[in-house]
Amino acid sequence: MKIKFKAIASLALVAVSSLILGSCTSDVDSPGTEYMPDMYRSPAIEPYVDYGEVRGKLNDNVRTKISALVPPSNTIPYYGTDSVDVSLMLPYFRKPSEAFKLTHGVYGQDLSASDEYTLSVNDKNPYAINDANAEQIFKNGKDLFNSYCSHCHGIKGDGNGPMVTSGAYAGVPNYQNVVATEGQMFYSIYYGKGAMGGHGSILNKKEIWTLVHYVRKFQDANYGKSVAATDSIN
């Protein structure tokens, strides 16, 4: 009995050792033998995956090829079935002016020969604000502003963010003195203005319109309350 047990134990030890040693490789970039590759290496195309090695097959021609590509022009993610949200997320109808190609490095987009910033003067915020949603809009706006804007514009919107007080940037306006309609604010945030870069690639339209509401609050402490909640500031 003891002899059989020792034989089984010896065979088990040899099997485990072979398994471990078989997983080793001299290639420092290799994860070793993949015993169940389908568990963590999908055969379907996914972003940020090295397709140079799939299911044990090597293809050096695509090892460094980027799999995450820009979606076709004017396509949008699925935003549900709420018609208001869907319409809010449709592609921005205004185009960057031709000057943006030089001033803000805009490429891969259709450019406009017109001054679209001036044309946006009468554009209205489609994200309606009222007594029921104002508190949540301002909360979301504050979170977005502190994440993407306050380093230059300051948490109070006075243009004294840490990037300005450090001397790295200058000329950042105080929002209380800014003469711009909500449509122009959106255009400026989306494509950029002056030294500020565009945020259209990192914020969706609903988030930008939320920021417009939040900036309006800097200009008018009563903004978002029942009376004249959506009047433009000229």
Summarised one tens digit per residue, pLDDT across range 169-214 is 888 988 888 889 999 999 999 999 988 999 998 999 999 999 999 9
Helices (H), the chain: 2-22, 83-89, 100-103, 116-119, 134-148, 150-153, 162-165, 182-191, 205-219
How many contiguous H segments (helices) and E segments (strands) does the chain have? Answer: 9, 4
Q: Of the candidates 40, 69, 98, which is a domain's last residue?
A: 69
- Mean per-residue pLDDT over the chain, rounded: 83
Paired tokens of 125: 């915020």
Amino acid at 135: E
Pair (145, 46) in one structural domain:
no
| Residue 15 forms part of a structural domain | no
Taking a C-beta distance cutoff of 8 angstroms, is the pair 116, 100 a contact?
no
Residue 7 pLDDT more than 90? no
Pair (65, 87) in one structural domain:
no
Q: For residue 107, give the nearest of 70, 135, 133 by alpha carbon.
A: 70
User: How does residue 43 score in pLDDT terms, banded at 50, 70 and 90?
Assistant: low
The predicted structure's pLDDT at residue 162 = 94
Paired tokens of 70: 């820009």
| Residue 24 forms part of a structural domain | no
Pair (45, 151) in one structural domain:
no
Q: Which pTM was predicted? A: 0.68
Pair (93, 167) in one structural domain:
yes
Pair (90, 126) in one structural domain:
yes
Give phi and psi for 54, each to the nearest 5.
-130, 125
Pair (113, 61) in one structural domain:
no
* CATH number where 174 lies: 1.10.760.10
Residue 40 sits in which domain range?
Answer: 31-69
Mean per-residue pLDDT, 112-141: 94
Q: Of the candidates 69, 96, 121, which is a domain's last residue?
A: 69
